[in-house]
Amino acid sequence: MSIAPEGVDPVKALFPIFKSHPELIYLDSNATSQKPEIVVEAIDRYYRSENANVHRGIYQLSENATRTFEESRIRIAKYINAETQEIIFTRGTTEAINLVANSAGQAFLRPGDEIVVTVAEHHSNIVPWQMAAERFGVTVKYIPLRADRRLDLDAARTLINSKTRIVSLAHVSNVLGVIHPIRDIIKMAKAVGALTMIDGAQGLPHLPVDVKELDCDFYAFSGHKVFGPTGIGVLYGRKTLLQAMPPYQGGGDMIEKVTLHGSTWNELPSKFEAGTPHIEGVIGLGAAIDFLKSMPMDSLLNHDRHLGTYLTHRLKEEFPRVQIMVEPGDDWVGTVTMAHPNIHPHDLAAVCDGENIAIRAGHHCAQPLMEILGVTATARVSPSLYNDESDIDAFLAALRKAEKLFLS
């Protein structure tokens, strides 16, 4: 059985979860990835021997913690080609988008402006903009999909116009696994002077990211989807913009001076990091970025795409009833989302669970997209580097079992 293309080792051994659950077949990496040993170790080491608050103590332990913490920031900045001050730690992609919707909204949105997103967004890239629309008196417009479920760039060209202030879209769709043509969209936005925000939650796990080359204004991602811890994420923001934006939350760390009459803000990035940060999260994320760096990204992408293609082909051959939401392509990371006319996705996921296979069932936090796909819920298989063809075979066997159970 083929495992990974050249350059990627058989990697299950690097992930402690598979030692605790050797039988586990984990096919839900778009929801969250499993964590490699080096990430678990970094967090463990921090609590066992490095724990102290950061940016505060005038003692060795705190200074060391601060150094490890800030070194993570430097490594993350380098990895996506940003300046260190442009890396803001957040709880995840969701908080990063909310930060931009609020602070950039306050700084740059005027009544009558338009925000453009796509219909294929995760709720976290829709709801904060709808809230901003209420708050700032602006409107949200949606770029539609073509019949092949790729973004309709012609429609985008008219939707993105002189009224547009912010364009925000996913690098990669969490439901369809389609890599959006963000370079084209960013160009369209630049041409009309709009700001661009890229939701990279599913981008960073599959693609190399260079924010300067992309020329986007904001890029967000979540640690837990790139082999790092939960509760930590990153907002990259162009320095000049971050400087012009008001803080998102108030508290410790983010201030320069506080008096009873008012306060002044700290420098970047502290201005946007109120309170004691998620220290072990940042340290764990630093380790996760080291892990990513050790993986040749193109073979990672090829690996996941290969497994998704393999699954798609076998579904078509052996399960003609199954409706598959997108065709594989070069603009695709291997996510396979499907609907079975006779088996509810919950039931399929439950049968899979009985075989120790983890898949996702539901609307995947993308209800508008589900409506467009004409389904209420779907089942999703999202492979990652610790999967191989035998995992896909096991899923297909579970699907056959479910058919037997529900169709007989």
Partner 1 sequence: MNEEWKALILDHYKHPRFYGPKEDFAFASEQHNRTCGDHVKVFASLEGKFSQWSFVGAGCSLCLASASLMMELLQNQTKDAVEAIRDENRSMWDGGIDFETASRPLWQALDGLRQYPVRSRCVKLAWQALDEILVSWNSLDISIA
Ligand X SMILES: Cc1ncc(COP(=O)(O)O)c(C=O)c1O
Amino acid type, 323 = Q
Q: Rule CB under 6 A: say whether 378 interacts with ligand X.
A: no
- Interhelix angle 279-293/60-79, nearest 10 degrees: 40
Q: In Å, what is the CA distance from 16 to each residue of 21, 36, 90?
A: 9, 7, 26
Q: From the list ligand X, partner 1, none, which binds 201 (C-beta under 5 to 8 Å, kind-based)?
A: ligand X
Are residues 64 and 46 in contact, defined by beta-carbon separation less than 8 angstroms? Answer: no
Decide whether 125 or 302 has the Cβ nearer to ligand X.
125
Report the alpha-carbon distance of residue 268 to residue 246 in Å, rounded.
11
Q: Rule CB under 8 A: say whether 252 interacts with partner 1.
A: no
Amino acid type, 239 = K
Q: Rule CB under 6 A: say whether 204 interacts with ligand X.
A: no
Q: Rule CB under 6 A: say whether 29 interacts with ligand X.
A: no
| Dihedral (Cα; 62, 68, 70, 71), 10-degree rounding | 160
Question: Out of 36, 128, 233, 345, which residue is the one contacting partner 1 (CB under 8 A)?
Answer: 345
Compose the 346-375 pattern: x for residues touching partner 1 by CB under 8 A, - for all others. Answer: xx--x----------xxx---x--x----x
DSSP single-letter state for residue 338:
E
Taking alpha carbons only, the member of 229, 223, 162 closest to residue 190 is: 162
Are residues 376 and 370 in contact, defined by beta-carbon separation less than 8 angstroms? Answer: yes
Q: Which residue has the tokens 């190399």?
A: 208
Decide whether 62 or 367 has the Cβ nearer to partner 1.
367
Question: Out of 202, 270, 384, 387, which residue is the one contacting ligand X (CB under 6 A)?
Answer: 202
Q: Rule CB under 8 A: say whether 62 interacts with partner 1.
A: no
Report the alpha-carbon distance of residue 71 to residue 283 in Å, rounded.
8
Decide whether 193 or 374 has the Cβ nearer to partner 1.
374
Question: Out of 34, 124, 168, 302, which residue is the one contacting ligand X (CB under 6 A)?
Answer: 124
Exactly one of 4, 365, 392, 394 is catalytic; which is it? 365
Residues touching ligand X, count (CB under 6 A): 14
Positions marked active-site? 365
- What is the contact surface with partner 1 in residues (CB under 8 A)? 344-347, 350, 361-363, 367, 370, 375-377, 405-406
Residues of this chain that bind ligand X (CB under 6 A): 92-94, 122, 124-125, 170, 174, 199, 201-202, 222, 224, 365
